[in-house]
Structure 1
């Protein structure tokens, strides 16, 4: 009898909502920076800031996901070791 860890799941609707939300916010900010009544260098600076923010967010989400996956793998390895110890344990074994 093996207990499989419960995997977090997400629905397709949640995935689509996240993608649309990201796309809309990125588009809105890009349009806002382009039409901002400011000199070109200010808009370029804000555009670079926006690009940096997006790449930082993607990197952060990957790091969080990788850390969560690592904890799941560690839990599986620990569970496998415990299962092996329990399977090999014989409480009625007589040592001589």
Structure 2
């Protein structure tokens, strides 16, 4: 299993800037929409819920992935230990 390479500072900056631009464009679109205040409020709340849900989903999937990696690492270590113990006894 190869470890994951860390992200470069340029990639981190790109992701933060992209996120800020996307949220800013959405906020501007809601603000300048030709609808009443109640509809703008509804759209703003739906946007916040969508963003929150996206972060929660991403974190949950990442946690499950990290857990499976840890379990695989433990299983591989147990297998290697068993093989090391079994092979010298046969020689």
TM-score, normalising length: structure 1: 0.84
- Equivalent residue pairs, number: 88
- Where do 5+ consecutive residues of structure 2 fail to align? none
Q: Does 1:20 align with 2:20?
A: no
Secondary structure, in 3 states, of the residue corresponding to 2:55?
helix
- Where do 5+ consecutive residues of structure 1 fail to align? none
Deviating beyond 3 angstroms after TM superposition, the runs of 4 or more aligned structure 1 residues are none
Rg (Cα) greater in structure: 1
Secondary structure, in 3 states, of the residue corresponding to 1:41?
helix
| Offset of residue 27 of structure 1 | 0.9
| Offset of residue 77 of structure 1 | 0.4
Higher relative contact order (CA 8 A, sep 6+): 1
Question: Which has more helix, going by share of residues?
Answer: 2
Counterpart of 1:54 in structure 2 is 51
Counterpart of 2:2 in structure 1 is 6
